[in-house]
Amino acid sequence: MSLKINELCINCDVCEPACPNEAITQGEAIYVIDPARCTRCVGHFDEPQCVEVCPVECIDPDPAYPETHEQLLAKLVALGGAG
């Protein structure tokens, strides 16, 4: 399942550089996560790095994008990452 940044985001800029897939960008009001690029850091880290560094805990699973571990790995490979 992809992740999503909620309205509690304070635009602190720590999540964007933490993402190994460059899935996080500045949106109109808050940072946003591109579900096509978010792999929850599968293949890179044990835990999603954006969640680990977020000081206000504003990053949640996005129920609009339910994905299995295997699907996240396949997405990583499609993005050009190791699998």
DSSP string, 23-40: -EEE-SSSEEE-TTT--T
> Given this model, what pLDDT does residue 20 score?
97
> Given this model, what pLDDT does residue 35 score?
98
Domain regions of the chain by residue span:
3-78
> Given this model, what pLDDT does residue 46 score?
96
- Give the pTM: 0.92
Q: How far apart are CA 53 and CA 51, in angstroms?
A: 6
Mean pLDDT by 10 residues, the chain (83 residues): 97 98 97 98 96 98 96 95 65
Domain 3-78 has CATH 3.40.190.10: no
